[in-house]
């Protein structure tokens, strides 16, 4: 493969930085990565494309210059310019120390800053991800204000405090949304903060309507919002009355007191062409309305209201005629709607908002106008908003008080089924982001998806969310599966007052019946800054057990809705369907709602009322409760479809685990028995009309959810499912299970388990074992629990906890056994790895059981034959797998029925930071540890040290001259060691640049290295240490990278002085500069560059100057010096590698994918996905067939081996702990790695239908002279 360079340093593993007394100042470890891996420091943070932010603190920025001394001086002088602020995110950008074979980038990396408490700075995320994590509303990035937008609110006078508060909240959100879209929104609601009846000169209606018309006629962007939500008080008087009409009114009024009031407040104005009686100002007779004293004003207004009420009531009686009403009593809302109806263009800019049954409650004139408006508006311009139940306001206040309190106990809300607990908890989740903006909100609802049906799944999901919020790796969340919620409580201790946490779980007791639950979480004390709210259903077994362990006063009873509120739900359902009921029917409905005051019941009888007619007399026979309503709806289906067909459909949804898609249901209903009972002719398909009828008539009992990529139907909840089940016979349930089992059993993907689409077959992977376990436990255990081929298929398509469900279901229905317990714990220990990629089941079983099966004194294999069968199959995997030679770091010890993970971990930061292959020797690896001053030669098959050289001064990089000699960078010096004999053979003269100590081999005699001042490229004799010659670019030109081809013929350097940065190419054989490569208005990011082994191509990432577009990739043909290829990925590149043998270029990009480009055609071969974080390590084998990908930052723990030609992932391995480094062997058949905080190396073999032991025997060969085997050499004095 090609050599390459990179500029991102791995996380600092030293306890303290060593200082250098020379001219370099602070020494920095930069041996973080092999020369084949590329990592960009100019790439956006992980969160920019949907990945977690780094939790590491920013390292001190390093700078290069003319010399080391000058560089240190320039750092102090240029610090402000080198750490610019990203004003959008508020994060300082700093560059990182880098590997010796890496070059610094002229760009900088934004690293995740952390608040003082250590929690991640979520500003690193895009706004959508950040708001989702915090449980807040989604919003786009704010744009500059470009346009003015007016929202004119046309509504009734009085809404009450509840609706007014909701309107104000909605307007705040709407303003923010408009601002994000580039508009400045002005909400014009004349009623906010004003009582129209108290305006002294009675000009409210006139002024508001005048401005309403003026704005609508202007060129401004106008949106009219007509809101109907309660009775219009209509307490206003006409400002003037014609003399004739006033005189007529005077004669009609019989009450002398009222007559005197009209003469008191109205005076004849003869200045008008047509004399009018004009309403006098309030202050004319009640001057105290203008008094400064509040009590005086209040008394005066009360007096005015008394007079106003009497006069208004009189006018409503005597001016009830439509002509008089339109002339004198028309409200502002009526005037506004009339104005809108006169102009079709205004209708297009109008929205009708109905708050509950507002149209029904409004007076007749308003109702007619709104009805006219409703007919002209398209459906998209109509909004129906249900009101918050007043009956739950006190409960909401209690919840808000709990959130703001110092309570350390969970809040448990208990209520009957159907009383609105889910709606309440959903409202709490929405309101929390407004009422408690500093809180992060985690909201989960049991049963809404396949991964929320058990308590374990819910708590794991909550823990994963907490890990993202508070800077922990998501693998820690899976520990909650085996430690009885201790992991959750431990993670909650990271919550601080800077980001308090609110956890909401709806239906905590509604888990599947065959899984157990744990009450400890509801009883234990919560850590500070954490609040936990759950809802439980009255009568549930979990609640019964809970009441026996806690005091009753810790439970909050949720009352049912009032009769009025339930009737609103019923009436709203009818209104949405354009129906109403008679007064007699209304009496029957209200009577039943008194007996069953549940919102779901109101909805169900509303559905039944859709079929009532005014001419029928016996329709209004209402079931007494929810169960009876459900039974009536089911009976309707039985009457239409026939009992047998209806029961088959009911049974299919009862016996399925998560539900079935419409295609699957129609296919299953097309069986011979069903079609025969339907008397269907000339078709073998289930008639689609019957399916449409089922969906329409039973929709109130069904729900849909996503399983994989498919939408499936299931019963709305367990209660309805149980009601349905009571109508079905056992034989019918068995019949349904058989046709489901036979259907999924015959699906083609089962023939090739290892070639399945992981998501599209998820329903099959769930339903097949679920039905089989019910039908035949013995067969199911053999085929679907202890069958390695099925397990490999299932775990690629499904979650490992679903396999745990299968085990638990089998245990509950058939038998319990110690073997099942052990297997379940194996799956739970491997849950994170298997959820990451289920194809690892082979390697995971092998790792967990190898030590137990290999113990000659143990009878483990005899005692557990099924586990022994699984282990034997995993030892010779039918699918390519990475199997470790030593499984101690992932093994399980079995003793006294207790399983525990055995992982060696040292309390030390010392570790091997880099691994290096040896030419033509795949059996050995060289590893260096700068902290310990150690170089070892490691036998990868025997997993032992065959040579150890200690006492070396900070080894930072290694170039293998041949099998035994290594040119090592020791601090800033180059030294030649014989690793076989443990001898220092030579020391090269001079020192390297502190920040950029780049070098490469020309041949076995010469090395090419960047000079200390970076103005030259030196060629030195390895044997004598003398300088042979120098390559000089020119005066005051400074190089910032150095690449040497594997054959030693071509050297490529980056020049940071010229603008834009060029690439300089030397022919090392002729020792001449042959090319000066540059692109106008672009510069090369030389820390992301690689050269092919034969020196024919160099690939580099390039960026357009003064552009925010993603960087792109260019390839130069170094034989002609021409631009050969140019590729533009959709996002920035993080890593790059080239293989002339394989004819491809690899690049890892920010969206966690890996792109494979064909070097000859320029086409994109593959777009590879699988990693959960951007990869910064790419290593290709020597023949260009396989390559390794890895994220050294630790966000993604996994190692992946790919086939570059086919684009398939050959194998994945996810260890339990993060790695410090890994290295692919030259033949691409094994991987060596080291854990962080460990100095032991481990080997993974790529096995396919072959055992580890057989591979070990085939590849073992000694290193060097036999007398030096396992020798330790102390070179402290060398």
pLDDT tens-digit profile of 1006-1033? Answer: 999 999 989 889 999 998 999 989 888 7
Looking at residues 504-532, what average pLDDT do you find? 84
What pLDDT is stored for residue 968 in this prediction?
95
Looking at residues 976-989, what average pLDDT do you find? 93
Q: Which secondary-structure segment (H or E) carries 1232? A: strand 1230-1235
| Residue 145 pLDDT exceeds 50 | no
Looking at residues 589-615, what average pLDDT do you find? 85
What pLDDT is stored for residue 1051 in this prediction?
95
Please choose, from the candidates 206, 150, 204, 138, the residue with its C-alpha nearest in 3D space to the C-alpha of residue 176. Answer: 138
Q: How far apart are CA 358 and CA 572, in angstroms?
A: 10
How does residue 138 score in pLDDT terms, banded at 50, 70 and 90?
A: low
What pLDDT is stored for residue 1237 in this prediction?
83
Looking at residues 908-936, what average pLDDT do you find? 89
What pLDDT is stored for residue 748 in this prediction?
62
- CATH no. of 390-557: 3.40.50.300
What pLDDT is stored for residue 469 in this prediction?
92
**Highest mean pLDDT pick, 376-390, 611-625, 1188-1202:** 1188-1202
| Residue 787 pLDDT exceeds 60 | yes
Lowest mean per-residue pLDDT among 104-118, 144-158, 1127-1141: 104-118
Looking at residues 123-140, what average pLDDT do you find? 73
How does residue 1062 score in pLDDT terms, banded at 50, 70 and 90?
A: confident
Quick check: helix, strand or coil at residue 1213?
strand
Q: How many CB atoms lie within 10 A of CB 537?
A: 21
Looking at residues 405-413, what average pLDDT do you find? 90
What is the per-residue pLDDT across 324-334, written as a single tens digit (0 to 9) for each? 877 888 888 88
Lowest mean per-residue pLDDT among 355-369, 634-648, 933-947, 1210-1224: 355-369
What is the per-residue pLDDT across 253-278, written as a single tens digit (0 to 9) for each? 888 888 899 999 999 988 777 888 99
What pLDDT is stored for residue 79 in this prediction?
35
What is the per-residue pLDDT across 180-192, written as a single tens digit (0 to 9) for each? 777 778 888 887 7
Alpha helix stretches (DSSP H) within 135-255 = 160-180, 204-217, 243-252
DSSP string spanning 478-504? GGGGTTTTHHHHHHHTT--TTS-EEEE
What pLDDT is stored for residue 1231 in this prediction?
95
| Residue 36 pLDDT exceeds 60 | no
Q: How far apart are CA 125 and CA 141, in angstroms?
A: 12
Please choose, from the candidates 1057, 1034, 1128, 1142, the residue with its C-alpha nearest in 3D space to the C-alpha of residue 1097. Answer: 1142
Q: How far apart are CA 651 and CA 735, in angstroms?
A: 9
- 692's tokens: 């449409």
Q: Rounded to the nearest 5 degrees, what angle is found at the Cα of 1175, between the Cα atoms of 1228 and 134?
A: 150
% of the chain residues with pLDDT over 70:
82
Which positions ≥6 away from 218 have C-beta within 8 Å? none
Greater pLDDT, 896 or 216? 216
What is the per-residue pLDDT across 14-32, written as a single tens digit (0 to 9) for each? 443 343 333 333 333 333 3
CB 477 within 8 A of CB 487: yes
Greater pLDDT, 1243 or 344? 1243
- 967's tokens: 């040119």
Please choose, from the candidates 1148, 1150, 1149, the residue with its C-alpha nearest in 3D space to the C-alpha of residue 1188. Answer: 1148
Quick check: helix, strand or coil at residue 419?
coil
Looking at residues 100-110, what average pLDDT do you find? 33
| Residue 774 pLDDT exceeds 70 | yes
What is the per-residue pLDDT across 863-892, written as a single tens digit (0 to 9) for each? 999 999 999 999 999 999 999 998 888 887
% of the chain residues with pLDDT over 90:
36
What pLDDT is stored for residue 901 in this prediction?
38
- 87's tokens: 């004003």
Q: How far apart are CA 533 and CA 410, in angstroms?
A: 6
How does residue 1259 score in pLDDT terms, banded at 50, 70 and 90?
A: low
How does residue 541 score in pLDDT terms, banded at 50, 70 and 90?
A: confident
Looking at residues 168-178, what average pLDDT do you find? 75
* Largest distance between two CA atoms of the chain: 132
CB 881 within 8 A of CB 1211: yes
What pLDDT is stored for residue 677 in this prediction?
83
What pLDDT is stored for residue 757 in this prediction?
44
CB 1063 within 8 A of CB 1054: yes
Greater pLDDT, 1035 or 381? 1035
Residue 1125 sits at φ, ψ, to 5 deg, of -140, 155
| Residue 899 pLDDT exceeds 90 | no
CB 629 within 8 A of CB 605: yes
Question: Domain 143-232+333-388 adopts which CATH fold?
Answer: Rossmann fold (3.40.50)
What pLDDT is stored for residue 455 in this prediction?
87
What pLDDT is stored for residue 88 in this prediction?
28
Greater pLDDT, 82 or 258? 258
What is the per-residue pLDDT across 700-759, written as a single tens digit (0 to 9) for each? 899 988 887 788 999 988 889 999 999 999 999 999 999 999 999 887 654 343 444 444
Quick check: helix, strand or coil at residue 987?
strand
Q: Environment class of residue 846 by beta-carbon count within 10 Å: exposed (0-12), middle (13-18) or buried (19+)?
A: buried
| Residue 659 pLDDT exceeds 70 | yes
CB 72 within 8 A of CB 23: yes
- What is the overall mean pLDDT for the chain? 81
Q: How far apart are CA 403 and CA 385, in angstroms?
A: 27
Instruction: Indicate left, alpha or beta for 585 from its phi (over 0: left) and psi (-120 to 50: alpha).
Output: alpha
What is the per-residue pLDDT across 815-865, written as a single tens digit (0 to 9) for each? 999 999 999 999 999 999 999 999 999 999 999 999 888 877 778 888 999
Partnered with residue 967 across adjacent β-strands are 959, 976
Q: Where are the beta strands (DSSP E) in 3-89?
A: 3-5, 85-86
What is the per-residue pLDDT across 146-170, written as a single tens digit (0 to 9) for each? 467 888 888 776 555 556 666 677 7
What pLDDT is stored for residue 137 in this prediction?
67
Looking at residues 336-361, what average pLDDT do you find? 73
Please choose, from the candidates 96, 5, 65, the residue with its C-alpha nearest in 3D space to the C-alpha of residue 999. Answer: 5
Q: How far apart are CA 1252 and CA 874, in angstroms?
A: 11
Q: How far apart are CA 415 and CA 436, in angstroms?
A: 25
Q: How far apart are CA 317 and CA 633, in angstroms?
A: 48
Q: How many Cα atoms sit within 13 Å of 230 on the Cβ side?
A: 11
Q: Environment class of residue 80 by beta-carbon count within 10 Å: exposed (0-12), middle (13-18) or buried (19+)?
A: exposed
Lowest mean per-residue pLDDT among 1-10, 432-441, 700-709, 1220-1229: 1-10
């Amino acid at each position: 493969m090609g050599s390459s360079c990179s500029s991102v340093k791995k996380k600092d593993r030293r306890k303290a930085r060593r200082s250098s007394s020379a001219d370099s100042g602070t020494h920095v470890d930069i041996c973080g990565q092999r020369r084949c891996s590329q990592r960009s420091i100019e790439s956006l943070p992980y969160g920019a494309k949907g990945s977690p932010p780094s939790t590491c603190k920013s390292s001190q920025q390093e700078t290069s210059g003319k010399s080391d001394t000058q560089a240190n001086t320039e750092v102090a002088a240029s610090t402000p310019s080198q750490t610019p602020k990203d004003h959008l995110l508020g994060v300082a950008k700093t560059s990182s120390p880098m590997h010796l074979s890496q070059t610094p980038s002229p760009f900088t990396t934004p690293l995740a800053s952390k608040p003082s408490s250590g929690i991640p700075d979520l500003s690193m995320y895009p706004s959508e991800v950040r708001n989702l994590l915090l449980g807040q509303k989604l919003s786009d990035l704010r744009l500059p204000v470009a346009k003015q937008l007016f929202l004119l609110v046309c509504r009734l006078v009085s809404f009450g405090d509840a609706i007014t508060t909701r309107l104000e909240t909605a307007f705040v959100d709407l303003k923010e949304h408009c601002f994000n879209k580039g508009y400045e929104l002005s909400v014009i609601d004349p009623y906010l903060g004003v009582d129209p009846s108290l305006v002294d000169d009675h000009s409210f209606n006139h002024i508001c309507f005048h401005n309403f018309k003026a704005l609508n006629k202007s060129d401004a962007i106008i949106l009219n919002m007509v809101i109907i939500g309660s009775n219009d008080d209509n307490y206003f008087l006409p400002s003037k009355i014609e003399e004739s009409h006033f005189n007529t009114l005077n004669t009609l009024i019989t009450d002398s007191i009222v007559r005197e009031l009209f003469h008191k407040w109205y005076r004849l104005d003869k200045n008008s062409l047509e004399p009018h009686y004009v309403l006098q100002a309030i202050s004319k007779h009640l001057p105290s309305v203008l008094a400064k004293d509040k009590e005086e004003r209040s008394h005066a207004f009360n007096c005015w209201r008394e007079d106003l009420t009497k006069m208004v009531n009189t006018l409503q009686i005597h001016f009830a005629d439509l002509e008089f009403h339109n002339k004198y009593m028309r409200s502002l809302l009526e005037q506004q709607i009339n104005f809108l109806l006169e102009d079709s263009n205004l209708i297009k800019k109008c929205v009708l908002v109905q708050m509950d049954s507002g149209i029904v409650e409004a007076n007749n004139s308003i109702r007619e106008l709104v009805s006219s408006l409703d007919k002209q508006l398209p459906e998209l311009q109509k909004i129906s908003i249900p009101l918050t139940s007043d009956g739950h306001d006190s409960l909401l206040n209690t919840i808000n008080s709990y959130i703001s309190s110092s309570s350390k106990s969970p809040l448990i809300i208990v209520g009957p089924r159907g009383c609105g607990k889910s709606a309440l908890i959903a409202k709490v989740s929405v309101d929390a982001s407004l009422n408690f903006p500093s809180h992060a909100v985690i909201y989960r609802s049991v049963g809404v998806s396949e991964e929320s049906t058990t308590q374990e799944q819910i708590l794991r999901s909550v823990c994963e969310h907490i890990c993202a919020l508070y800077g922990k790796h998501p693998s820690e969340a899976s520990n909650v599966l085996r430690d009885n919620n201790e992991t959750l409580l431990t993670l909650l201790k990271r919550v601080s007052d800077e980001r308090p946490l609110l956890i909401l779980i709806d239906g905590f007791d509604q888990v599947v019946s065959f899984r157990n639950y744990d009450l400890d979480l509801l009883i234990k004390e919560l850590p500070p800054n954490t609040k936990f709210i759950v809802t439980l259903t009255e009568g549930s077994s979990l609640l019964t057990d809970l009441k026996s362990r806690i005091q009753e006063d810790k439970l909050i009873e949720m009352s049912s809705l009032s009769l009025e509120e339930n009737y609103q739900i019923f009436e709203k359902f009818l209104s949405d369907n354009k129906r109403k009921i008679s007064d007699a029917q209304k009496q029957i409905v209200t009577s039943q709602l008194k007996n069953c005051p549940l919102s779901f019941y109101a909805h169900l009888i509303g559905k039944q009322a859709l079929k009532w007619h005014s001419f029928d007399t016996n329709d209004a026979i209402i079931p007494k409760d929810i169960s009876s309503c459900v039974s009536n709806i089911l009976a309707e289906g039985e009457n239409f479809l026939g009992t047998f067909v209806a029961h088959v459909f009911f049974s299919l949804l009862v016996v399925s685990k998560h539900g079935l898609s419409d295609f699957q249901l129609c296919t299953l209903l097309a069986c011979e028995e069903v079609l025969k009972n339907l008397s269907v002719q000339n078709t073998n398909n289930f008639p689609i009309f019957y399916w449409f009828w089922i969906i329409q008539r039973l929709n109130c009992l069904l729900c849909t959810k996503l399983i994989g990529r498919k939408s499936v139907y299931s019963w709305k909840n367990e209660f309805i499912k149980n009601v349905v089940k009571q109508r079905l016979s056992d034989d019918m349930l068995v019949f349904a299970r058989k046709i489901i089992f036979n259907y999924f059993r015959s699906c083609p993907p089962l023939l090739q388990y290892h070639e399945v689409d992981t998501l599209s077959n998820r329903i099959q992977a769930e339903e097949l074992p679920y039905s089989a376990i019910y039908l035949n436990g013995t067969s199911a255990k053999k085929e679907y629990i202890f069958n390695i081929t099925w397990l490999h298929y299932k775990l690629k398509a499904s979650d490992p906890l679903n396999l745990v469900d299968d085990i638990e279901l089998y245990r509950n229905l058939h038998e319990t056994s110690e073997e099942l317990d052990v297997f379940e714990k194996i799956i739970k220990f491997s849950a994170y790895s298997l959820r990451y990629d289920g194809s690892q089941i082979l390697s995971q079983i092998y790792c967990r059981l190898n030590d137990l099966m290999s113990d000659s004194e143990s009878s483990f294999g005899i005692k557990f034959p099924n586990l022994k069968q699984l282990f034997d199959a995993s030892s010779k995997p039918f699918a390519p797998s990475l199997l470790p030679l030593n499984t101690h770091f992932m093994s399980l010890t079995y003793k006294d029925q207790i399983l525990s993970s055995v992982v060696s971990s040292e309390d030390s930061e010392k570790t091997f930071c880099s691994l290096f292959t040896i030419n033509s020797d795949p059996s050995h690896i060289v590893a260096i540890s700068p902290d310990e001053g150690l170089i070892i030669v490691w036998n990868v098959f025997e997993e032992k040290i065959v040579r150890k050289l200690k006492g070396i001064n900070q080894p930072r990089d290694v170039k293998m001259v041949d099998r035994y000699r290594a040119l090592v960078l020791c601090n800033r010096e180059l030294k030649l060691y014989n690793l076989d004999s443990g001898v220092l053979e030579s020391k090269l003269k001079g020192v390297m640049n502190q920040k950029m100590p780049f070098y490469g081999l020309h041949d076995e005699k010469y090395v090419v290295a960047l000079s200390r001042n970076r103005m030259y490229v030196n060629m030195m004799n390895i044997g004598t240490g003398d300088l042979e010659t120098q390559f000089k670019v020119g005066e005051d030109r400074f190089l910032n990278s150095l690449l040497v081809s594997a054959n030693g013929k071509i050297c490529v350097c980056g020049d940071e002085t010229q603008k834009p940065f060029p690439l300089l190419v030397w022919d090392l054989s002729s020792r001449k500069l042959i090319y000066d490569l540059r692109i106008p208005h672009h510069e090369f990011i030389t820390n992301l560059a690689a050269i092919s082994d034969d020196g024919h191509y160099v690939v580099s990432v390039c960026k357009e100057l003064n552009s925010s577009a993603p960087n792109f990739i260019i390839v130069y043909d170094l034989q002609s010096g021409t631009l050969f290829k140019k590729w533009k990925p959709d996002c920035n590149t993080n890593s790059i590698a080239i293989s002339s043998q394989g004819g491809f270029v690899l690049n890892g990009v920010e969206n966690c994918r890996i792109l494979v480009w064909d070097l000859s055609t320029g086409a994109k071969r593959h777009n590879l996905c699988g990693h959960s974080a951007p990869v910064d390590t790419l290593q290709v084998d020597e023949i260009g067939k396989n390559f390794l990908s890895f994220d050294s930052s630790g966000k993604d723990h996994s190692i992946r081996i790919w086939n570059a030609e086919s684009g398939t992932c050959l194998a994945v391995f996810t260890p339990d702990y993060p790695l410090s480094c890994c290295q692919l062997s030259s033949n691409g058949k094994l991987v060596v790695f080291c854990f962080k905080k460990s100095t032991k190396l481990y080997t993974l073999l790529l096995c396919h239908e072959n055992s580890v032991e057989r591979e070990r025997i085939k590849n073992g060969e000694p290193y060097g002279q036999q007398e030096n085997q396992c020798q330790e050499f102390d070179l402290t004095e060398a």
